[in-house]
């Protein structure tokens, strides 16, 4: 009896439309990147992480703060911070060295 219900649920979930959608998503995933990441612990390029996040609607923070900062243009954020506080580059270096 339980098998009939399981089969009905399976047929409901795995409709041809759902399977085609999953297949299209799978084609778009950089599979070599995922394979190298999973099997050999090679960190993917930022562009690959961005593509995966876009495909699955994940925030960049899911993979770490580095990727979130990388795509927020850190150079522009740094210059904005420097200008907002009227720091010289020398002042910025002293502050950053002290923090880290």
Tens digit of each residue's pLDDT (9 = 90 or more) over 31-87:
677 777 778 777 778 888 888 888 888 898 888 888 888 888 888 888 998 999 999
Distance of alpha carbon 16 from alpha carbon 11, whole angstroms: 9
Q: What integer pLDDT is reported at residue 7 of this predicted model? A: 53
DSSP letter, residue 42? P
Q: What integer pLDDT is reported at residue 2 of this predicted model? A: 47
Is pLDDT of 91 > 50? yes
Is pLDDT of 8 > 80? no
Is pLDDT of 1 > 50? no
Token readout for 95 is 């502050």
Helix (H, G, I), strand (E, B), or coil: what is residue 100?
coil
Token readout for 90 is 């020398």
Q: What integer pLDDT is reported at residue 30 of this predicted model? A: 64
Residue-by-residue DSSP string for 54-95: HHHT--GGGG-HHHHHHTT-HHHHHHHHHHHTT--HHHHHHH
Q: What integer pLDDT is reported at residue 88 of this predicted model? A: 93
Distance of alpha carbon 79 from alpha carbon 74, whole angstroms: 9
Task: Give the sign of the dihedral formed by CA 55, CA 58, CA 62, CA 64.
Answer: positive
Q: What integer pLDDT is reported at residue 11 of this predicted model? A: 54
């Amino acid at each position: 009896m339980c098998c009939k219900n399981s089969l009905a649920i399976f047929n409901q979930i795995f409709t041809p439309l759902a399977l085609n959608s999953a297949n299209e998503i799978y084609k778009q995933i950089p599979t070599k990147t995922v394979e190298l990441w999973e099997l050999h612990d090679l960190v993917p390029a930022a562009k690959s992480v961005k593509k995966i996040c876009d495909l699955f609607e994940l925030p960049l923070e899911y993979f770490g703060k580095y990727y979130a900062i990388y795509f927020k243009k850190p150079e522009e954020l740094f210059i904005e911070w420097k200008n907002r506080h009227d720091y010289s580059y020398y002042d910025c270096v002293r502050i950053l060295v002290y923090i880290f």
